[in-house]
Chain A
């Protein structure tokens, strides 16, 4: 047998290689099953919950919590989630981006700065329920005169602290992706470090920072466990004619805690309500994520 025969045989063998086909098939199957679970989830939720949304529409979105299924709605949950969102945007976003700017643009490679960096990475891996314990111990008990105990403020602060490390890490990645030549060009024409950051680095890194922030906020919108620890209520929240300030110090519920409360109701009427509330939550979160990821992929620049 000549060498060319061996090569020819090898080439022929390649085409009908059953093992390779099986291997590729198994890989494709695992991707397919991963997606399938999520697709079944979406179909299951929409199938069971869309009826309530179609029947009750606006009244479901606006009414508050109630022990009667026909009167219960997600109004208070939506209000609570909006308040949480405001806390995250006002606190975690500026502090997070500022930390990222410090770590990427200003910090020298000292022990202290390395410690900050490692600390943030570890903080991002802490389970969310542990942040709930922080919330109970500090925001609910120690700061009770300020927050009013288990309140919107305590919940909002807990969520802001929870997503802070994620915002820092994603923003730092976006800043790191900006090539040094851009900074050097700025320094070359005599700009200060802050001028370079403000008018050269930040505009380029903005899409990445924006996407990271939106993903973090939608993570906060879906968080449930820490808020249960902080003391989200599962029953009706009577607001009466309390002022906004008093309300913020009062008992709270969010969309995900409402979902959990309904999921634990023994009354079977609440099952469709649970799924309807999930449609509302997923609608908001998945749309926000989709827009953010689409924008990032669109505007991401390779240098």
Chain B
């Protein structure tokens, strides 16, 4: 993709400058991650007394890991599982909902569809904080705060997903195919589920991944909604431990090792699914 406009030979100086800057930038982006991976092998004391970017003589990664997973009755495992639950279920539901809505907006000329689309687009611009605080009071009124639902349900709404789905349905699902399926007697739901959704698969994967990371990284919503530590996602759990470092410095090491683990988890997911991060969808979107 990038190679296509590559001439055979570049002037040496520009090659050195360009790649030099890129390497420096790469070091910048990797630095905190390298630091936390090294720091996760140290004792709480060494954390503050040894050079940050190199290992000490007595690495204790295994001990730190064991501590993280046994602290507070093994609650760290629950936090990981909760994070996966919130992100996976929320993103899956969000993908289905936005795909159906985006597809319908793209393919059915119903009354008020442009208005609906504009309102949804406006939703992209509303800061999450404006939603989260009042949402607490609304869900409190129906006794949902403190439950898994209080985080899951709001996570299922992705205006950006609707936007991507509409753009992609327009581009990837030809009207002729829908017509043909209708003549064959298929209902609209069946056409969407069996035909259109398959043609939109790349967009659906993208919507799922973006929403997954958004929910995984979310802090404010669970902070506002949840009060029992066993329902916490990782982000909230780690800040809970972080707030106890004043009381007991041992928590510094728990926070560091826990952060290292959570960073490794998602970085692995992102590198593993690298080819699905099809940003050209968003590029198409910006032109649509």
A in complex with B: no
